Structure 1
């Protein structure tokens, strides 16, 4: 099997994982955060878990990128920078800003690591080797529109995370209704923003791997957003009735 054959098989695997994840999450709430519960094996501090499970998205991506035949091309370097903008936030800043005390099962960490190895491999492989972008791609409408969506989604994602962190005073526990920003329209704008971000990436890279990642992100986060929305309504009788779970006015 040649390089494109192996690449296609790995991308197909990611699409398959997206389908399996969507089906599984219709029946099972992923056991971390507010849904942490027993029966999922040993746990680890949430900060440690986030760093460990997200680190392959940085380490593997850079390693594969450095072996690519187009690793010094301008477009490849710009796309690398975009990727790292997200994952420096997700793997370094986000866990550093988390409140201490949370835990997550090692099983969740291991599954996320395995996915990130696969996902980083296919995305870096395309960008640094198989894609072969001309410098003119940076002025292509697909790249420009994708970059706008990517950074807009990242901004919504990061701002929503900050809003959630600030809901509780130091030493306070429990949950409150979040307000402000995109919380005016949806219960989980952090997830909405991340989904938009990776569809922007799919457009900016115009790649099978980018599309697979966007589809997987939706399969992983949309069910959780719907669960969060139901959870808020069950817990807070005064929860805003005009909010949707994930997409303003629709879902």
Structure 2
């Protein structure tokens, strides 16, 4: 327990927030288990997985869906707005750590929106019934991280200050994530909607290095914040992205006979 007390603020005096922390962690981690089991959130290459798996086309015609670009903007924009609005709340920004947390969250989601608008190329649609819960999760967890930081103001600081380590991790994560998203975007020429095996960077070792760096990014935010909710969100997201990376690797293996067997899902040489 002393180890945890040295790196984390005490849980805030809010039953609602503490319950939501547990609920959000379980819900996000469970999505990772679902991905491994074959129940995918319907975006990216899995946007029409139900129809492809069943061989039916009727549900694709009736289910609500939006373009991939619109769907991805739906995922991240509400959370970006929450992070930006937080700068108008003086209580949240009463301490330097609070400013850094809000800034990191804002940069995280601003980068994602700019990538969607300027870099990413989309080959399919997104099911609305997947976009809404993902968007709600990002928005809710962003708000709860900010609220947790606010409620921690005035509490005894953790014995070990991990703010600077968190800043380093965040910068490494956000940079590596952007770089590998850029490599993905270069796989296709304009108008090309086919999938290819990505190469370059860490793609030669893992199929989802952008997920690996997103995990690093989120743990950077958690170390800057050092609140229970920020840690739980980072761990929950890690479990989800682990499951999603396994599903992605299985998808590539099923589509490409020449998929390199030595390319792992998420962690080079290990996983």
Superposed structure 1 runs of 4+ greater than 6 Å apart? none
Q: Deviations over 1:103-133 (max 9, x none)?
A: 1011111111221232012111122x11227
Matching residue of 1:214? 234
Cα contact 1:61–1:123 (8 A) shared by 2: no
**TM-score normalized by structure 2?**
0.82
State the alpha-carbon separation in 1 of the partners of residues 125 and 252 from structure 2: 21
Residue number among 33, 46, 51 corresponding to 2:68 in the alignment = 46
Note closer, same or farther for the CA distance 1:187–1:100 as it changes in structure 2 (3 Å cut). Answer: closer
Q: Secondary structure at the match of 1:130?
A: helix
Backbone CA RMSD of aligned residues = 2.4
| Count of residues paired in the alignment | 246
CA shift at 1:3, angstroms? 5.2
2:136 is matched with 114
Contact 2:123/2:193 (<8 A) preserved: no
SS of corresponding position for 1:179: coil
> What is the alpha-carbon distance in structure 2 between the residues aligned to residue 179 and residue 24 of structure 1?
27
Gapped runs of 5+ residues in structure 2? 1-11, 52-58
Whether the 8 Å contact between 1:65 and 1:124 is mirrored in structure 2 is: no
Does 1:69 find its partner at 2:86?
no
Select 1:167's aligned residue among 184, 187, 190.
Answer: 187
Give 3-state SS (helix, strand or coil) of 2:264's partner.
coil
> Are 1:31 and 2:42 matched, yes or no?
yes
| TM-score relative to the length of structure 1 | 0.88
Native 8 Å contact 2:42 2:127 kept in 1: yes
Q: Distance in 2 between matches of 1:246 and 1:202?
A: 20
- On the 8 A contact 1:153/1:197 being kept in 2, the answer is yes
Name the structure 1 match of 2:168.
Answer: 148
Q: Tell me if 1:245 matches 2:265.
A: yes
Show structure 1 runs of 5+ residues with no match: none
Q: CA deviation at 1:204?
A: 1.9
Structure 2 residue matching 1:218: 3-state secondary structure = helix
How far does the alpha carbon of each residue in 1:129-176 deviate from its partner, in whole angstroms, 9 at most, with x for none? 112279x99xx6511212211111111111111111101112223111
Residue 24 (structure 2) aligned to one of 11, 14, 20? 14
